[in-house]
Amino acid sequence: MGAGSWGTVFAKILADAGTPVTIWARRQSVADAVNAGHRNPDYFPDIDLPALVSATTDPAEALAGADLVVLSVPSQTLRGNLAAWKDHVEPHATLLSLMKGIELGTTLRMTEVIAEVAEAAESRIAVLSGPNLAREIAEQQPTASVVACIDHGRAVDVQKAVTTSYFRPYTNTDVVGCELGGAVKNVIALAYGMAAGMGMGDNTKATIITRGLAETTRLGMRLGADPSTFAGLAGLGDLVATCSSPLSRNHTFGEQLGLGATLEEAARVTKQTAEGVKSCRSITDLARKVGVEMPICDAVERVCHEGLDPRAAVALLMGRETKPETDSLRSDT
């Protein structure tokens, strides 16, 4: 459900693994292009989609008889979209979230939104996360990822459905950790991009990644996640890829801010949704609600939504009180 860059590539993965896939597209022109030419001209005009991939603009047609429903829309639009789709979802279907964000206002994770709106048991809901730069996967460059579900058997079923020669999924039962890793890394990548735009070097960038991971781990531990998740593909792996790659929308958006662009100017350059711009507000709201310090995320929020200059944000971060590094990983510091 969703014909954006990651939704399109994930359909390709499923089809390459031998599963017939229907893509729900918002626009008829995209559906027609997929059906007639086996390509998505808006995102990957040069990538052929397998014959097992078809498309429709009718959500009821897309969802009819589907054993696996893959949700791949911007995180802040999930609630409205799913409310319109839920009556067409098969009662036995697995609901798989590809989205990496926290809902504004409610501070709910995407699987929590799915459970609430679709009235689905948590055991039916899974999340996929990891270093998932869509362009590289579309080109079939080897990568790995994580499928997380509290029902491990269901996670294994999804794992089998998406295993290909270039895409290797692992399983996990830590849904909270995998989702938080995927959401927070977008915000840290904005900070990394800002540093790159300001011409800062590798020491600064390594510091942002490392301290960003510490913030993510603190929040995860407070919410019951397994801290080891953040050392894996859904944590460090996704964080490094999103921060360092020019293919990352959040990296590129942050870089434009570091060069002095406004939010509107940066959006025109990236041309796609930079999830971290909206999620930084919901993530900092969540952190404050549960009493966890996340100074990098706070600084990004102030840059994006209060007009703080990125250089002033750096000065604020460097002027904070220092603590022993091991203490700063605890959930209450």
Catalytic residues: 185
| Burial (0-12, 13-18, 19+ Cβ within 10 Å), 321 | exposed
What distance in Å separates the CA atoms of residue 248 and residue 253, rounded to the nearest whole number?
9
Edge-to-edge strand list for the sheet holding 125-129: 68-71, 94-97, 125-129, 143-148, 167-172
Strand stretches in 72-182, DSSP E: 94-97, 125-129, 143-148, 167-172
Residue with tokens 């603190």: 218
Is 278 in contact with 76 (CB distance < 8 Å)?
Answer: yes
Six-digit token string for 95: 């609901």
- Which residues touch 76 (CB under 8 Å, ≥6 apart)? 101, 103, 104, 278
Positive or negative CA dihedral for 148, 153, 157, 160?
positive
| Three-state DSSP class for residue 56 | strand
Return phi, psi of residue 227, to 5°: -60, -25
What distance in Å separates the CA atoms of residue 302 and residue 90, rounded to the nearest whole number?
43
